[in-house]
């Protein structure tokens, strides 16, 4: 894709996002055919952000999630600072078509992981982590049917990133936690509760974090100090509606909450 095609795709998605609209798909002339082209479109989002990039999200970190959106592996998206809300705050319900909340482990980086030829190991990536957080992601898509457009277009649409909530850093010594076996509970006050484990996230949220570091490295990008990575839902996505209060309870690792306005 040439710069004009990339820009056209980005402008169409951004316009749909701003106006709360959806599109069937990007037009063929501006439609990414590879993951790399999808990421090139996604990268143009940062030009419209008034603050440094907050971090990254990982979508489709379970086989069920991958099957649901017809992809064969995880997808990375940008967490824009304008879409991050304080723990306990309210986010507008708007016209969110996905209408789910996801309960996630998040990691904040202590040092940069720069692009390199060799893949980063899980241990190397964890050595670069400053803290662990309970988090909630509220995704959305700019496509009428996000289950059919394929990975390149989903990546271009920022891997369904929308709103993100992050609790304070865990005070527990998390470096000795078995994240794969760790249990978390998602609650919607008065009507629902679901439990999940870390192994729903690529077998282990730490493995998902390393995947993100290597995905960025392969794209020639740095995972930067201070950025936060949310690693994908460890609980089956929970349907939400206006007025709901959503809680992500990670026990001694922390609790995050958000109200749907």
Q: Using one digit for the tens of pLDDT, what is the confidence trace for 27-80?
A: 999 999 999 999 999 999 998 888 999 999 999 998 889 998 999 999 999 999
- pLDDT of 95 > 90? The answer is no
The alpha-carbon radius of gyration of the chain (Å, integer) is 17
Query: What is the rounded distance in angstroms from the CA atom of residue 210 to the CA atom of residue 229?
Result: 10
The DSSP output letter for 120 is: P
- pLDDT of 190 > 80? The answer is no
Quick one: tokens of 237?
Answer: 């996505």
Quick one: tokens of 121?
Answer: 């190991």
How many residues are there in the chain?
261
Phi-psi category of residue 226: left, alpha or beta, with phi > 0 → left and psi -120 to 50 → alpha:
left
- pLDDT of 192 > 90? The answer is no
What pTM did the predictor assign?
0.96
Distant-in-sequence, close-in-space partners of 207: CB < 8 Å, separation ≥ 6: 122, 201
From the list 98, 118, 105, the residue with the least C-alpha distance to 204 is: 105
pLDDT at 50: 87
Mean pLDDT, rounded, for 75-97:
95
Q: Using one digit for the tens of pLDDT, what is the confidence trace for 129-149?
A: 999 999 999 999 999 999 999
- Show the domain range for 129: 3-260
Q: Using one digit for the tens of pLDDT, what is the confidence trace for 99-108?
A: 999 999 999 9
Which ranges in 20-83 belong to alpha helices (H)?
Answer: 35-43, 63-68
Q: Using one digit for the tens of pLDDT, what is the confidence trace for 196-210?
A: 999 999 999 999 999
Mean pLDDT, rounded, for 87-102:
94
Mean pLDDT, the chain, rounded, equals: 96
pLDDT at 73: 94
pLDDT at 71: 93
**CATH number of the domain that 96 lies in?**
3.90.850.10
What is the domain count for the chain?
1
pLDDT at 94: 87
pLDDT at 56: 98
* Percent over 70 (pLDDT), the chain: 100
Query: What is the rounded distance in angstroms from the CA atom of residue 185 to the CA atom of residue 214?
Result: 29
């Amino acid at each position: 894709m040439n710069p004009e095609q990339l820009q056209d795709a980005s402008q169409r998605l951004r316009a749909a996002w701003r106006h709360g609209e959806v599109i069937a798909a990007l037009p063929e002339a501006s439609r990414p055919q590879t993951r790399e082209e999808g990421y090139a479109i996604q990268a143009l989002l940062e030009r419209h952000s008034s603050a440094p990039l907050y971090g990254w999200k990982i979508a489709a970190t379970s086989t069920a999630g991958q099957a649901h959106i017809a992809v064969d592996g995880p997808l990375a998206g940008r967490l824009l600072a304008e879409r991050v809300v304080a723990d306990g705050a309210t986010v507008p319900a708007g016209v969110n078509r996905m209408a789910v909340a996801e309960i996630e482990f998040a990691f904040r980086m202590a040092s940069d992981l720069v692009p390199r030829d060799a893949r980063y190991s899980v241990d190397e990536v964890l050595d670069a982590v400053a803290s662990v957080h309970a988090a909630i992601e509220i995704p959305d898509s700019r496509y009428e049917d996000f289950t059919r457009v394929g990975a390149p277009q989903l990546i271009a649409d920022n891997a369904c990133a929308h709103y993100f909530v992050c609790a304070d850093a865990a005070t527990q010594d998390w470096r000795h936690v078995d994240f794969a076996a760790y249990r978390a509970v998602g609650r919607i006050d008065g009507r629902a509760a679901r439990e999940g484990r870390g192994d729903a996230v690529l077998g282990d949220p730490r493995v998902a974090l390393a995947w993100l570091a290597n995905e960025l490295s392969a794209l020639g990008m740095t995972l930067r100090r201070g950025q936060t990575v949310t690693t994908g839902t460890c609980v089956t996505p929970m349907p939400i509606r206006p007025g709901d209060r959503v809680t992500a309870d990670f026990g001694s690792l922390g609790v995050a909450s958000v109200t749907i306005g």
